[in-house]
A and B are shown apart, each in its own frame.
Chain A
Amino acid sequence: MNYFIKRALAPTILAAALTATPALAQKSDDTLRVALAEEILNLDYNYTTKREYIILAQMTDTTLFDLDPTTQEFKPAVATGYEYADDTTIDVSLRDDVKFHDGSTLSAEDVAYTYNWIIREDSESNAGGTVGRWLDKAEVTGPNTVRFHLKSVYPLVLRDMAQRIMLRKVGSYDAGGTIDRDAMAQHLIGTGPYKVTSFEPGQELVLERFEDFFGEKPAIQKIVVRNIPDVGTQQAEMMSGGIDWMFKVPLDLAESLGATPLATHLSGPDLRIAFIVLDAAGYTDADGPLTNVKVRQAINHALNKAEMAKYLIGGSAEAIHTACHPAQFGCDQSVQDYPYDPEAAKALLAEAGFADGFPLELWAYRDKPVAEAVSADLTAVGIDVNLRYVKLESLNQARAAQDIPAYIGTWGSGGTADTAAIARIHFADDTDRNLSGDAALATEVLAAEQTSDQNERAKIYTNALTTIADQAYWAPLFTYSANYLVSPDLEFPLDPDGLPRLQNSSWK
């Protein structure tokens, strides 16, 4: 519906923008008003997964470590440091001045309780799968020290500690022995720079700066998050001064409203990338064209991904040639690139014995214009594309049944700037997303998770990405961009990992 609205109303919105009174930003009462289309129903990130919840959790919660989005280094947060007692035992020391929003002080028992709760089967936490893979148990070893016993070597421990586990008080989920997984969903007691002062699920969340926060205090006193499902309504609110920040704005609308004095358009990076996965293993056809590396390389050459990025995604989107986002750790850019060259594509197809092309069923579930552009490029080199544009669920089901010869996929890596966040899920041997059939590659990808040595990890990923590129298991397409509209009075810094950090906003 929004597609039609924005096209039908774009001229009207522009006209209104030119005649409307300049927006009354909320700078005067030091309140940042934010619009989210996604309904906010649960404030506990230990029980949610979606991006909007990560944005909120960064304001209301803290973790043991922080990931610096620029340097990609892990910095102490609630933890003051860590030390490996051996490969599978980590001692973490804690600050003694961390306060919960109810005024109590965080203890080592709280930290151990949180981690042990998450890995309990009956906790049913959304983080349980990730953390349960590596954590055996957490144990209090002193007033401000916790020992983490790992099941095996796991180099992404700090990443998970920095991004997945929000710290809770002892008994938060099982006070009096009664399990209540929703205990923190609406009445959150966190340790973050903002505390919840009121919450109406699906409607409005009000956050106030937490004066006892142990870290750097945010500049803005109050943040009001409103759920406004329609992007057109969000725009109208922006124009009338009802909100100061909105994201996931369609590019053309962001540009048109951003060109007026009512709002500023910001375009930042997004860790999400788009790519085509090819059935190199021959699951759908053991002797099919896609099992031939020359055909897969031809497909890579046939795609004008730079124009797709520029005209179909826009903003800061860029063409990529790796099976990862260039901003991710380990995403070596020196691997084989296949520049746009339809003639080279045709030559490769001819070499492979498909001079007259071949029929290809291409699946896609989002960004239809991109899917159509890909189809057009492949058709131009003689491949007869049958585009199957379906819902994500249908694609997932067909992929699980190994019934997809090629599909356009996207992956956001959960906001994690590490190749591990995309490599394992797509190239390990236990995932149906892996259509390469390359057992050596699967072993290599897992090996990168078996060492804590970052140099070694980088080397392994270089090898893996080189194989993926040489064998053209994927046809990488482009990175996405994130478009924001913000009040002209608002200073909203954009980070290279594409995660919006509202707590870093300030007034100009």
Chain B
Amino acid sequence: MLKYILLRSLLALAVAFTVSLAAFFLLNVATDPAQAIAGEDATQEVVDMIRARYGLDQPLPVRYFEWLGGVLRGDFGESYYWHKPVAELVAERAGVTITLALAALSVTILIAIPLGALAALNPNSWIDRMALGVAVSAQAVPNFWLGLIMIILFAVMIPIFPVSGDDTWRHFVLPAFVLGASSVPAIMRLTRTGLIEVMGADYIRTARSKGFRGGALLRRHALRNALLPVISVLAVQLGQKFGGSVITESIFAINGLGRLALESILGADIPTVQMLIFVFAIVFVAMNLLADIINAILDPRIRIG
């Protein structure tokens, strides 16, 4: 197991560096950071001054290897815009994104699992169809659209939540719902399929013969096995929430890593984008690893390595 974790960790690092290399060259080809910092009407003189100030006049390979050398020494560089170490910037913003991601995952669990269970217990009924309808709709709706609709409904027409910001728990309700909704279809369908399969198993028939029915049967016998694949997918979904928070955080003006990523990309703040991609890649691979480990713990038949 330890060897497996070490191998996957190395893989995570390799993925992070590969992605950062691609991002570095793509960003530099697609944008001119000096122009982006200076603004549309800046004179060439100002643009050149900024280029020299940040070392952007150096050849791309030189700049990449300088960045890489810094990373290996634990120095991710300084943001062009914020004028502070990128690591510090990311650390400041991470808390908000972690809070949002966990809240979104809670929303997913609270909606998807009961809905999936309901659908599984009433297969091919109108309840099942309705649950599937909700899942398909949630999958079809883009985050930015759902976000603005939620704002209009619950912050403007019925003003029970604030429109934007991240000061109180109330600020997280709408964004958590929006971010969480996108994962509902996957989890709901997985729960439904898993439960339908489990409900037909011999040990469930045995449990029924012992007098277990309804909620008790579901809780004590069916869900534990049906949710095995769900738990691992949830871990992956948590990783996706970090990347998925880019749009949601921007819509709700939440100062987390997602908004930082979007603004850094638009502003060609390459050191910040580099570190964020690094962080997102590591989190994503780590969550996949966690999913495998959880599966192994929950189901001793699974052996990894």
Contact = CB atoms under 8 A, between A and B. Distances in A.
Instruction: Answer yes or no: are A and B bound together in one complex.
Output: yes
Interface of A: 1, 5, 8-9, 12-13, 16, 19-21, 39, 41-42, 49-51, 124, 126, 128-129, 182, 185, 201-203, 226-230, 232-233, 236-237, 239-240, 242, 391-393, 396-397, 400, 410-414, 425, 431-432
B7 interface: no
A367 to B, nearest CB: 12
Contacts of B144: 1, 5, 230, 232
A411 B49 contact: no
A20 B263 CA distance: 31
B281 to A, nearest CB: 24
9 contacts: A9-B149, A16-B152, A20-B156, A20-B157, A49-B41, A230-B144, A232-B151, A233-B251, A391-B31
Interface of B: 30-32, 35-36, 38-46, 49, 53, 81-83, 144-145, 148-149, 151-153, 155-157, 159, 162-165, 247, 250-253, 255, 259, 262-263
Given A236-B152, A236-B163, A129 B255 contact: no
Contacts of A414: 41
Given A49-B46, A242-B162, A242-B163, 12 more contacts: A5-B148, A8-B145, A39-B263, A49-B41, A129-B43, A182-B83, A229-B250, A232-B148, A233-B251, A237-B163, A237-B164, A240-B163
A5 B145 CA distance: 7
Contact of A229 (B46, B49, B156, B262): B262
A41 B82 contact: yes
A42 B36 CA distance: 15
Contact of B46 (A129, A226, A227, A431): A129
Nearest to B93: A202
B155 to A, nearest CB: 6
If over half of B's interface residues share one DSSP class (helix, strand or loop), that class is named, otherwise mixed; here it is helix
Contact of A232 (B44, B162, B251, B259): B251
Nearest to A272: B41
B151 A233 contact: yes
A16 B145 contact: no
A396 to B, nearest CB: 6
Most buried by A among B82, B148, B162, B252: B148
B43 to A, nearest CB: 6
A446 to B, nearest CB: 15
A412 B41 CA distance: 7
B162 to A, nearest CB: 7
B156 A16 contact: yes
Contacts of A124: 49, 53
B81 A41 contact: yes
Contacts of B81: 39, 41
B152 A128 contact: no
Contacts of B36: 393
Contacts of B49: 124, 126, 128-129
Contact of B253 (A229, A392, A393, A396): A229
